[in-house]
Structure 1
Amino acid sequence: MRGQIPVVDLEEYERDPQKLREASEEWGCFRLVNHGIPTKLMAEMKEVTRDLLDLPLEIKQRNKDVIPGSGYMAPSEKNPLYEALGLFDARSSSSVSSFCSQLEASPHQRKIIEEYAEAIQKLAVNIATKLAKSMGASDYCFEGWPCQFRINKYTFTPETVGSPGVQIHTDSGFLTILQDDENLGGLEVMDPLSTSFVPVDPWPGTLVVNLGDIAVPWSNGRLQSVQHRVQCKDAGLRFSVATFLSPPADKVVEVPPEFINEEHPRMFSSFTYEEYRNLRKTTKLHAGEALQLVRLDK
């Protein structure tokens, strides 16, 4: 039904692969159940998230950028209720180790972060691979793509109810997996038909998957990135863990040949992921509008 994002059961993929494709084409996002990440590991990772974001500021500031936006993000004038810590590449043991060392993570916290990073990276590649297969590009390989993740904290008070936690945006990469807060809502996504925002309410044990801008040219326009935001609905502390699967910075975004034919000519120019990120930054177009600048038929 409209007003609710689709639900995709990963265990049902082989029986009904088109449900994943249709959700990605029609909404650009979906809720994922039976995803394979243990509930215990999710709960432990959320506990680590709370502990790390409760660290003194001088320790959190040691979490430096590898690429812009990959390190500590303090509350800002634009997003005063939000702060985050970033791990550049969940598939890289050195990246995970550096993240843990910067924040003086305990051996137990380090173990949880390592286990979660490995599990969520494998899941991201699995979803992307299954999506490509459901669209007819069964040979496309996402192995080796960086998998950044960010742990987020929103400080909501009675005075900030009705205010934005994070402004309207799309993600720049290919695919995002969100472990949202289990109790405090606020996430909203754009319904592409009504062009109004609909709430994505808490549903413990599930994950929310949304597509980023890179999925659009990669699919020759078949997939769509989804605009989303976080709104302050209630007072309290809100925590989430977001994982971003993106191409390597210098990789040219390649359209699988299966997506191009006489009826569907190439829609976008060639560019690298780094070039597209820079385009979003220099134009200050962060809600998918930058895609219009790389279209061939504009």
Structure 2
Amino acid sequence: MQIPVIDFSAFLDISSSIDTKLETAKKLDKACREVGFFYLSGHGIDPTLFSEMLSNAKQFFATASREEKDEIKVKPSGEKSGDDSRGYRLVTRADAGYEAVDFLRELESEGPPYTKGLGRNQWPRTPASLRSIAEEYTTHLVALGVAIMKAFALALDVPEEIFSSRVDESFWQLRLAAYPGCKKGPDQVKSGLYQHSDFGILTFLLTDEHKGSLKVLAPNGEDWISADPIPGTLICNIGDMLSIWTDGIYKSTQHKVLHVSQDMRISIPFFFDPNWNARIEPVLGNVEKKSKGKGVNYKDIFTGAIKYPY
């Protein structure tokens, strides 16, 4: 299996004909039906912004003191400023090891205390440029996510409004993650992330130059292939929510991280998800199947997936 590289520039070009846009949309459609992963080029984002995101994230994880990390650690909902989801966390498990900082779209809330997921972002003090760079990056990816949803609607021949009305206030999540270098010896801790599929709509992944760490399950359900970074592209995969939305026609593919390099790996996934109050129901497939209540409320899926402590 090969993960396709899709040039999205024609779809973003306002001068492109509908036939040209449809050609690009069909390439996305094919990748989502057959693989569930694709590389996206022609996304319109300045590569300098990619470099700045990676360097800021690396600087934080490599230089921030334990006290600074603890200042912004994830706190349980019910505690002042806690919502189970925003901030720094360190994950050490038998099958996984990494550290991360999570930021999510901020919504109006009754808190503090905050409902799960609906708190306020906790930004690191250093590096000083991290917040402004991350907010600029987020703005670009939200717009890109909306554009890709329009492409999906075109390829699937469904009204654009079905998708666009449920992502116009996307409850996005930006994660800065660091996988520690793998030190040899009897006390070696695994660096990675367990096998899973993403629960949202679409994930945009930016990583550093390390190869062999991200593994994607092939369609045969047995082989694992490496999704190595390609300079200037974003690694994209669809999530369970989009699979539900398309009645299983699009595949949310299992993947995992197993980092074996002795150097730290920086990974920055951006999860483009539905609006907080969106109801997601199948828009394709068997009419009788669609009548059996397969729809889900996004906020229920999100709150069910977020667990504290990690």
Q: Does 1:59 align with 2:68?
A: yes
Report how many aligned residue pairs link the two structures. Answer: 273
Unpaired runs of 5+ residues, structure 2, are 12-20, 76-81, 109-116
Superposed counterparts of 1:160-179, under 5 Å: 163=190, 165-179=192-206
CA distance in 2 between counterparts of 1:87 and 1:279 reads 18
Q: Give the AA of the match of 1:221.
A: G
SS of 1:159's equivalent in the other structure is coil
Q: CA RMSD in A?
A: 2.9
Give the secondary structure class of the aligned counterpart of 2:301: helix
5+ long unaligned stretches in structure 1:
283-298
Other-structure match for 2:238 = 211
Give 3-state SS (helix, strand or coil) of 2:88's partner. Answer: coil
- Partner secondary structure for residue 44 of structure 1: helix
Q: 1:227 aligns with which of 230, 248, 254?
A: 254
Amino acid at match of 2:33: E
SS in 2 for 1:118: helix
Q: State the shift of 1:130 in Å.
A: 1.5
Aligned twin of 2:131: 110
8 A contact 1:91–1:117 mirrored in 2: no
Which residue type is aligned with residue 40 of structure 1? T
Whether the 8 Å CA contact 1:149–1:242 is kept in 2: the answer is yes
Where does residue 6 of structure 2 map in the other structure? 8
Distance 1:267 1:27 in 2: 27
TM-score between both structures, scaled by the size of structure 1: 0.81
Equivalent runs, 1:181-220 vs 2, <5 Å = 181-220=208-247
Matches within 5 A, 1:82-93: 82-89=98-105
**Residues 260, 81 of structure 1: alpha-carbon distance in 2 compared, 3 angstrom cutoff:** closer
TM-score, length of structure 2 as denominator length: 0.78
Q: CA deviation at 1:200?
A: 0.8
Give the match for residue 16 of structure 2.
Answer: none
Look at both structures and tell me which one has the larger radius of gyration over its CA atoms.
2
Identity %: 27
C-alpha contact 1:63 1:103 (8 A) present in aligned 2: no
Alpha-carbon distance, 1:244 to partner: 0.5
With over 3 angstroms needed to count, the CA separation of the structure-2 counterparts of 1:208 and 1:79, relative to structure 1, is same
Per-residue CA distance 1:28-55 (angstroms, 9 max, x = gap): 1111111111110110111111122231
The reply on whether 1:238 has 2:238 as its aligned counterpart is no
CA distance in 2, matches of 1:17, 1:76: 40
Task: State the match for 2:57 in structure 1.
Answer: 49
Match of 1:293 in 2: none
